[in-house]
Chain A
Amino acid sequence: MAGPETDAQFQFTGIKKYFNSYTLTGRRNCVLATYGGIALMILYFKLRSKKTPAVKAT
Chain B
Amino acid sequence: MNENLFTSFITPTMVGIPIVPLIIMFPSILFPSPSRLVDNRLVSIQQWLVRLTSKQMLSIHSHKGQTWALMLMSLILFIGSTNLLGLLPHSFTPTTQLSMNLGMAIPLWAGTVATGFRYKTKASLAHFLPQGTPFPLIPMLVIIETISLFIQPVALAVRLTANITAGHLLIHLIGGATLTLTSISTITAFITFTVLVLLTILEFAVALIQAYVFTLLVSLYLHDNT
Interface residues of A (CB under 8 A from B): 2-3, 21-22, 24-25, 27-28, 30-32, 34-35, 37-38
Interface residues contributed by chain B, number (CB under 8 Å): 16
Is there contact, CB below 8 Å, between A31 and B131?
Answer: no
Interface residues of B (CB under 8 A from A): 122-123, 125-126, 128-135, 138-139, 142-143
13 A–B pairs (Cβ distance < 8 Å), ordered by A: A21-B129, A21-B130, A21-B133, A21-B135, A27-B125, A27-B126, A28-B122, A28-B126, A30-B129, A31-B125, A31-B142, A35-B142, A38-B143
Is there contact, CB below 8 Å, between B123 and A24?
Answer: yes
Q: A2-B131, A34-B139, A37-B139 are in contact. Are A25 and B125 (CB under 8 A)?
A: no
**A2 to chain B: which residues have CB within 8 Å?**
123, 126, 131
**B130 to chain A: which residues have CB within 8 Å?**
21
**B133 to chain A: which residues have CB within 8 Å?**
21
Q: Which among A21, A25, A32, A35 is the interface contact of B131 at CB below 8 angstroms? A: A21
- A33-B135 Cα distance, complex, nearest whole Å: 13
- A27-B131 Cα distance, complex, nearest whole Å: 8
A-B pairs under 8 A by CB, number: 42
Nearest CB of B to A11, in Å: 16
**B122 to chain A: which residues have CB within 8 Å?**
24-25, 28
Nearest CB of B to A34, in Å: 4
**A22 to chain B: which residues have CB within 8 Å?**
131-132
**A25 to chain B: which residues have CB within 8 Å?**
122
- Closest residue of chain B to A31 (Cβ to Cβ) is B128
- A37-B131 Cα distance, complex, nearest whole Å: 21
Q: Which among B123, B125, B132 is the interface contact of A32 at CB below 8 angstroms? A: B125
Nearest CB of B to A41, in Å: 11
**A3 to chain B: which residues have CB within 8 Å?**
123
- A55-B128 Cα distance, complex, nearest whole Å: 42
Nearest CB of A to B5, in Å: 45
- A35-B129 Cα distance, complex, nearest whole Å: 12
Is there contact, CB below 8 Å, between B126 and A24?
Answer: yes
**A28 to chain B: which residues have CB within 8 Å?**
122, 125-126
**B123 to chain A: which residues have CB within 8 Å?**
2-3, 24
- A24-B129 Cα distance, complex, nearest whole Å: 10
- A1-B207 Cα distance, complex, nearest whole Å: 34
Top 7 A-B pairs, shortest CB-CB distance = A27-B126, A21-B133, A34-B142, A27-B129, A28-B125, A31-B128, A28-B126
Is there contact, CB below 8 Å, between B138 and A21?
Answer: yes
